[in-house]
Amino acid sequence: MNDLLQGRVCVVTGGANGIGRAVCERFAEEGAKVAVGDVDDEGVTAVCRAIRERGGEALPIRLDVTVRESIEQADAAVIEAFGRLDVVVANAGVLIQGRVLDLDEASWQRTLDVNLTGVYRCLQVFGRRLVAQGQGGRMLVTSSIGGLRGGTFYGAYSASKFALIGLAESMAEELAPHGVLVNCVCPGLVDTAMMAKLAREQATFTGNAVDSVVAQNVQRVPLGRYATPDEIADAFVFLASPLARYVTGQRVVVDGGMLYS
């Protein structure tokens, strides 16, 4: 433990699995009090248990980013439990694959509701809290390299993740006078259950074996492997810490060199 976030109060949406879980656990390792928000109740319970077993503080919250009242209730629960809020990680997201010409409108709308409008709601509700407190803070958004470069099967996802970068950059400028720093993290290929599911779907779309799809994906990464969730979480730790006190409006790419190869 390096105590980079000692005593800070953080809320993480989509905190039950994958990158979100890694962020929650790394924040706790660095001394933060973590509110774990997700619609996956069992996952939230498991993450909070793991944090507490290591001596950390964790608050389980059922948080649905598609429902404003759910976010407002989460905000109230964090304040009731910890007395303030310092760091917001808007991480909840979905990835529905499909070629744009074949994608049904319900899948398109679901993607935008969670990935874009859900983040807007979170940044607005929690951002108002940070401004009202008058002590600055951090708001971090999970975008993607898919928010910097589109690709086959990712039309809806890329559209939402591109938009997140614009939203975060706008909020960074708006909130700078209040000392609230807003940044995006853009992960590449990460070794998560979601990535495994995507590989299986791509295999179905293309008629290739899953192992072949994974091998082709890895070949696109100069470092020759997927990232671990902890490697992505470390970028969030940096942006939430005093080390990033002069960083705002940025998109931090963590992709093993994939984007520019």
Any idea which residues carry the catalytic annotation?
157
Which tokens sit at 111? 């993607």
Tell me how many helices (H) and strands (E) the chain has. 9, 7
Contact 9, 32 (CB under 8 A): yes
Residues 6+ apart with CB under 8 A from 75: 11, 85, 125, 126, 129
CA dihedral 173, 10, 193, 43 (to 10 degrees): -140
Burial class (CB in 10 A: 0-12, 13-18, 19+), 2: exposed
Token look-up 């994974």 returns 214
Q: Between 18-29 and 41-53, two packed helices, what is the crossing angle to 10 degrees? A: 20
Closest CA to 90 of 171, 199, 33, 8: 171
Instruction: List b or e across 105-134, with b for residues whose CB sees 16 or more CB atoms inside 10 angstroms.
Output: eeebeebbebbbbbbebbbebbbebbbebe
What DSSP element (H or E) covers 232? Answer: helix 229-240
